[in-house]
Amino acid sequence: MTLLLIHSGGTIGMGPGPEGLMPVPGKLEAAVAARLAPGGRLETHAFDPLLDSADVGPAHWNLFLDLIAAHPGADVILTHGTDTMAFTGAALSQALAGSGRRVVLCGSMQPLGMGGDGEANLDLALQAAREADPGVWLAFAGRLLPADGLVKTDSHAAGAFTAVPQPPAWPRANPRFGAARVAVLTLSPGLPVGALRAMLAELDGAVLRVFGAGTMMAEPALLQVLAEAVQRGTRIRAVSQCLQGGLEPGAYAAGAGLWATGVANGGLETAEAALIRLWLDLSA
């Protein structure tokens, strides 16, 4: 078995420093090598400098995909900070759909060697890299979670992630993330019309987090802003602000104005998954 370790950064490979936790070069790689199954071969790509996951974005997703493609026979462990793990999980899940590859994301809330969750998460990731079904997974807090619908729901607890079931992704031809201008926007009571107009004017696509099963304020000016954006070609995809249940157009009269604007229905998609879908669509 060949294992490709992509070490992008994150708490799991850190250690105490003079001003707090900081990356420790070689720490994660040594821990994986010590746990490698007999006869296994380890290939490593460590970012230099290691990344805080807050800085991970489309250029890094493309690099992850290029590294995976360059090692066609390898199973993959990608270590990553937890703050944007859900976006990377959605990006790789959709981009690798139908590829037959097995990729396991791994991170932790506490570093290796500090009596926390790092060792257990890494051990689970190594087991999953050998035994899991093809797909993209997250090894975390004793659970192997599908990575396509991850949501970080706790900023401190070891069980920081929830996996929301997602619609199947479809295979794409050589998917990569281009220079599309996309963002997640959230409706809130009293949202100024000018603020929504200004944000949409700068975007090629937007995920719009709406209320409940698919409602929004009955404010004609807001609805007009959405309709005008759709008419000029801005791709807008609605998702629910609720963690579970998704959208159901027609369930409430309060949603009629929203759907009349031409905004697309994201259904059960998380905001992260919907953003990745838009990004890939706009990059095709």
Q: Can you count the helices (H) and strands (E) in the chain?
A: 8, 14
Mean pLDDT of the chain: 96
Domain that holds residue 152: 2-163
Domain count, the chain: 2
Q: Regarding predicted confidence, which is higher, 51 or 37? A: 51
- For 50-101, the pLDDT digits (tens) are 999 999 999 999 999 999 999 999 999 999 999 999 999 999 999 999 999 9
Q: What is the dihedral of CA 84, 95, 240, 236, to 10 degrees?
A: 110
CB 103 within 8 A of CB 68: yes
Query: According to the model, what pLDDT value does residue 43 have?
Result: 97
How long is the chain?
Answer: 284
Pick from 163, 194, 210: which residue ends a domain? 163
Q: What letter represents residue 47's amino acid? A: F
**Least confident among 29-33, 79-83, 181-185, 250-254:** 250-254
Does residue 170 sit within a domain?
no
Residues 45 and 152 occupy one common structural domain: yes
Domain co-membership, 95 together with 150? yes
* 68 and 111 belong to one structural domain: yes
Provide mean pLDDT across the span 17-37.
92
Helix (H) or strand (E) holding 138: strand 135-140
Q: Does a structural domain hold residue 171?
A: no
Cα 99 from Cα 195, distance rounded (Å): 41
End-to-end CA distance of the chain: 34
Burial of 275 (0-12, 13-18, 19+ CB in 10 A): buried
Given a cut of 90, whether residue 251 has pLDDT beyond it is no
For 145-163, b/e burial (b = at least 16 CB within 10 A) is bbbbbbbeeeeeebebbbb
pLDDT tens, position by position, 184-232: 999 999 999 999 999 999 999 999 999 999 999 999 999 999 999 999 9
Q: What is the pTM of this model?
A: 0.96
Same domain, residue pair 154 and 43: yes
The last residue of one of the domains, among 163, 192, 222, is 163
Indicate left, alpha or beta for 183 from its phi (over 0: left) and psi (-120 to 50: alpha). beta
Asked whether residue 177 is domain-assigned, the answer is: no
121-138 residue pLDDT tens = 999 999 999 999 999 999
